[in-house]
């Protein structure tokens, strides 16, 4: 997958945080930021490596996961087009604690840590954005723990899909998600076959429509409350 630098920068300008920068600040970011093409199955980041960049998904879909000592894979979340991650590790200046893999061919933006910290020092709106980002991320992970412990697979898949429409974390999401059943399985912690069964249940409930390689969201609020007690 290839993209031109102008298209890459245009997509960058559409992000929430970029729109709160001054022209001079944005010019500095454009000079320093790096574009990376990662094929499906490739690593965007590796667990244990030095955290040297704030990372954004300009186009594509990645999963944040880790492996246990026994080889069991645990997926924390998926990050679709428009999402940014890694601010926590940068702020704490610690090695990355998870792997990030592309679930499909993806265009990745890597803002060097020095540029990230420069923005924190020079842009109050960026700092305010980042506080909201951290708060939303915390809420996301608390909800994930709750869903894993309290909900059945059908409801977990519903929450997984709804979670990809967080307007702050993933502002690039459209009503039609270009996502496969296998990818949904990865992100919701179940098999492709069980994810398929859950999608059929949700489709019969009138919450979504299943197309080839895509999911059309019909009732987002319904997905967020499916089987809620």
Arithmetic mean of pLDDT over the chain: 89
Torsional sign, CA 34, 35, 41, 42:
negative
Tens of pLDDT, residue by residue over 26-67, are: 999 999 999 999 999 999 999 999 999 999 999 998 989 888
Tens of pLDDT, residue by residue over 169-219, are: 888 666 778 788 888 888 888 888 999 999 999 999 999 999 887 889 999
Mean pLDDT for 91-101 is 92
pLDDT in the model for residue 189: 81
pLDDT at residue 68 greater than cutoff 80: no
Query: Which of 138, 120, 118 lies closest to 130, judged by CA?
Result: 120
Mean pLDDT for 106-117 is 96
Query: Which of 94, 104, 111, 188 lies closest to 148, judged by CA?
Result: 188
């Amino acid at each position: 997958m290839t993209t031109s630098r102008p298209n890459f920068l245009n997509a960058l300008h559409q992000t929430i945080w970029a729109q709160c920068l001054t022209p001079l600040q944005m010019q500095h970011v454009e000079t320093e930021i790096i574009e990376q093409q990662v094929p499906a199955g490739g690593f965007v980041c590796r667990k244990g490596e030095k955290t040297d960049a704030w990372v954004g998904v300009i186009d594509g879909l990645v999963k944040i996961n880790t492996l246990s000592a026994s080889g069991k894979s645990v997926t924390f979340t998926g990050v679709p087009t428009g999402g940014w991650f890694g601010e926590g590790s940068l702020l704490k200046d610690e090695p990355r604690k998870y792997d990030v893999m592309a679930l499909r061919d993806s265009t990745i933006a890597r803002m060097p840590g020095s540029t990230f910290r420069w923005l924190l020092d020079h842009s109050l709106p960026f700092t305010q954005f980042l506080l909201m980002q951290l708060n939303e991320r915390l809420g996301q992970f608390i909800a994930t723990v709750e869903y894993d412990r309290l909900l059945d697979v059908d409801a977990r898949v519903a929450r997984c899909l709804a979670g990809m429409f967080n307007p702050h974390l993933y502002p690039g999401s459209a009503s039609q998600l270009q996502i496969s059943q296998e990818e949904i399985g990865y992100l919701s912690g179940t098999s492709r076959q069980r994810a398929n069964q859950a999608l059929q249940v949700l489709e019969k409930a009138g919450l979504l429509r299943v197309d080839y390689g895509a999911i059309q969201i019909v009732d987002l609020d319904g997905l967020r409350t499916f089987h809620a007690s």
